[in-house]
Structure 1
Amino acid sequence: MAGGAETERDDEAAARSMYLIGGRRVTVSDLLEAGLIRVGEALRFRRSRIGVTYDATVTESGLIRLEAGGEEFRSPSRAAMVAAGMRAVDGWRAWLVVDQDRMLDTVRQELLDRVISRVAAEANQRNEDSERRRIHDRLRQARKRADEHAPERISVRDLLALWGASDRGDQVSRIEADLANHGLTTSPSFRAVTLDTPVWLTTPPSDSEDAATTDLSGTEAVPADEDDEGGRDLDVRLTVGNLSPLQGVESVGPNSTLQEAITRMELNDYSQLAVLSGPRNLRGAVTWRSIAQAMHRKASVRLADAIDAQAEVVDYDRDLFEVLGTLQQRDFVFVRDESKAIAGIVTTADVAQRYGQMAMPFFHLGELDQTLRWILNRALDFETVQRLCNRRISSVDQLTFGDYRRVLENKEAWDRLGWPLDRASFICRLEEIRNIRNKVMHFHPDPIPEDAVDKLRRFNKLLHRYRERA
């Protein structure tokens, strides 16, 4: 009996271990439960530069209670930010566990090492858990390089590939949790740039004299655990950086000739050109409109006469919707990267192309939806459709792609269509379409791959060819 209870406890511990490394942020409660810290543990945040110290304790429920004021927080970063009156600070690297004389982040790393070792042993090195160990080891190496001030640089596409992801879809929460658990963040934010933009794997500073801490490239750093208090998990914005690769802009200097500017625009088929006196010093832009206006004013025109000094500059992580009005008025905006350098441009053509990419799958899916409902309504009686759906619906207009599959998987219903097609192959493609639909409806920031759009287009053509037979 005792052996059975012990086995049950081991199973629970194994399940808990799997849960911890399955894409969830480690919390102070996890450290408490693992026995790595204790109730009442004293924590201290010392800002040595200004000679100020903040004290706190760990509560029974795994919260951090500030000594001054008694406020309690689940997030170490939030606790440190409130204690010090700072806008951003990495609490895991700010709070010292006094009796252990080591940072809270070090305790967290010990927990992760324990969990990974335990899972590998309990699972007998199953493929899935070996993959988790590989990611853990990879992030540990990245953290080591970040601590040595030699952070790793990797493209967003290659970063996602570490988790077997090809876009910023369903895996994003897990990726952010794994990065946060290792005290890592990306600079710039991997959510806010294109897939081929390189990012640094770095750590946000644990202390700063400024109200807002900055990362090594000059941008405001986000605490690795800010999401613990409901911060950035629901971040589905389309940013300016999602449209610009941030790989530099074609430019001329303020002392260049107008002929040089025109030649560069002609060679590259550009409608505008940046005028820079340094990577961060935008003097304006030269456009076909500004050139025409300058020539209208006087016959002899220099580059300086054709510079539009009112050219707009926005940060790469700015919400795209916020700059649509500016784009409508001015046709383009220049984009600053994480180091404040002018590194990209977004035009109305870019926006039209992106929204076209986003809209095309919606149109195809809408057509598929309507056609499948029309076919089932013609070929089957409503009672049969409702029975095969195995749920209560009041009309065929309530059918989903999952319902279409459940209905058409039935051989009798399929035969009623009278189609000379292989049912298994058709259902397999319908399931692929359902998965594409789910990705589109979740508003992922990355364009739907062209092959997915082609599948939708071809499926629509097939339905139109055979629908009359139903």
Structure 2
Amino acid sequence: MKRRPTEKELLALKGTEVPVDHFLDLFGVRVRRPWNVHDIAQVLADAGLATFPDFATCGARDRVQITALATVGSSSSGQEEDGAVEEEPLPPGALPQRLRIGDLPSARGGVDCVPAGAPLSQATYLMRHRGHAQVPVVTATLVHGVVTWRSLALMYERGKDPTLDNAMQQDSLPVVDVRQEFFACLPMLMEQGYLLVRGEDGSLSGIVTNSHVVDRFESAARPFFLLGEIESLLRRWLGSRLTVDAIKAVQTNKRAEERTGRVEELMFGDYLRLLDGEQKKVAMAQQADLNWSALRCESLDRGQFVRHLERVKTIRNRIAHFDAKPLPADDMQELTAFTTLLRDYVN
């Protein structure tokens, strides 16, 4: 790190949004390396700041927002720190801010092709028996055309001989690169119904259809909706049963005079501190016992509930960091099961 901005300079940026390369320029850094990323993160933390999304993992052309770093405990308020760091709240309706065609699994999942000059039956066999709606006709990296159900229908409507050449769509082929922005390619996808995707080496790496897009956005958006419902249900449940003082007791990231006791202002980790009876701090554990009793849920096993809530918090933090990979099925099951459980007790 070639230079170190002052805390005053950094705090002046709080609440602003800047391109990530401009942010790195503040530290005299052009390329992110493990050592300078660590140094920059430490300087930010010392100033009580963070970036959203994380400057260390976001795209080179992304913009980052300079935000407050919320921690459990604050040395400035005289509270004892326990070393835990709470995540920034998820923005309402947040989704990953950058998506390339190559981020869709099918874009890199390979594609069944037939060689130029092959009998038409090879293409129709793939379409009928493997469920393909499009079969490219290729020679090495050269795409001659694509056989689709529409192109087949046009061939027969026009009374042409049933050959591969006559059955191909050859004009205006929707070929894109894995590095292209997804949303820039959407008009072509909507018009053609599919996109042929070239990998970094120029060869066809996969194919993207409307159904692939629906699957990708379902896997990306559903966790956000589930987490939103989980937080809403937790706040409704806890807010209706717990006292203002009980809620204030876990707002340790604020000075005593700033604690409102409003359940809407709790961080996700605060829900655990409200209910976990095995905390290191005896007073907090005793208050958690009282809180659990106030919920009046005798049929619910407290230990299992708290462990499930901890797993949900871990999943939530992963999503908050905009992990590009789709959420694993086990994690989706955890979120779905916890949402269902809360619905039974809150609604």
Does the alignment reach a TM-score above 0.5?
A: yes
CA contact (8 A) 2:247 2:261 kept: no
- Residue 430 (str. 1) matches residue 309 (str. 2): yes
- Residue 331 (str. 1) matches residue 193 (str. 2): yes
| C-alpha separation in 1, matches of 2:182 and 2:175 | 13
User: Could you state the TM-score of these two structures normalised by the residue count of structure 2?
Assistant: 0.65
Instruction: Please list the CA deviations of residues 16-69 of structure 1 after superposition, one character each: whole Å capped at 9, or x if unmatched.
Output: xxxxxxxxxxx678xxxxxxxxxxxxxxxxxxxxxxxxxxxxxxxxxxxxxxxx
Equivalent position to 1:441, from 317, 320, 328: 320
Residue in 1 that maps onto 2:237: 375
| C-alpha separation in 1, matches of 2:61 and 2:346 | 49
Higher relative contact order (CA 8 A, sep 6+): 2
Instruction: Give the 3 Å change call, closer, same or farther, for CA 358–293 of structure 1 in structure 2.
Output: same
Instruction: Please list the CA deviations of residues 44-97 of structure 1 after superposition, one character each: whole Å capped at 9, or x if unmatched.
Output: xxxxxxxxxxxxxxxxxxxxxxxxxxxxx95688xxxxxxxxxxxxxxxxxxxx
| Paired residue secondary structure (2:137) | strand
Aligned length in residues: 257
The offset of 1:336, in angstroms, is 1.0
Residue in 1 that maps onto 2:162: 301
Instruction: Give the 3 Å change call, closer, same or farther, for CA 379–245 of structure 1 in structure 2.
Output: same
User: Could you state the TM-score of these two structures normalised by the residue count of structure 1?
Assistant: 0.49
Equivalent position to 1:415, from 293, 316, 332: 293
Residue in 2 that maps onto 1:242: 103
Greater radius of gyration (CA): 1
| C-alpha separation in 2, matches of 1:366 and 1:76 | 37
| C-alpha separation in 1, matches of 2:135 and 2:207 | 10
Q: Where do 1:63-462 residues align within 5 Å?
A: 74=28, 173=56, 237-243=98-104, 244=106, 246=108, 248-278=110-140, 280-298=141-159, 300-309=161-170, 310-390=172-252, 391=254, 392-393=259-260, 395-409=262-276, 410-420=288-298, 421-462=300-341
Instruction: Give the 3 Å change call, closer, same or farther, for CA 397–172 of structure 1 in structure 2.
Output: closer
Instruction: Please list the CA deviations of residues 406-458 of structure 1 after superposition, one character each: whole Å capped at 9, or x if unmatched.
Output: 22231111111122334343223212211211222332210111111111111
CA contact (8 A) 2:198 2:206 kept: yes
| Paired residue secondary structure (2:108) | coil
CA contact (8 A) 1:258 1:302 kept: yes
Instruction: Please list the CA deviations of residues 300-338 of structure 1 after superposition, one character each: whole Å capped at 9, or x if unmatched.
Output: 332212211222111111121221221111111111111
Instruction: Give the 3 Å change call, closer, same or farther, for CA 293–438 of structure 1 in structure 2.
Output: same
| Paired residue secondary structure (1:445) | coil
Gaps of 5+ in 1: 1-26, 30-72, 78-107, 112-169, 177-190, 192-229
| Paired residue secondary structure (1:371) | helix
The offset of 1:298, in angstroms, is 1.3
Identity of aligned residues (%): 32
| Paired residue secondary structure (1:389) | coil
CA RMSD after TM alignment: 3.3
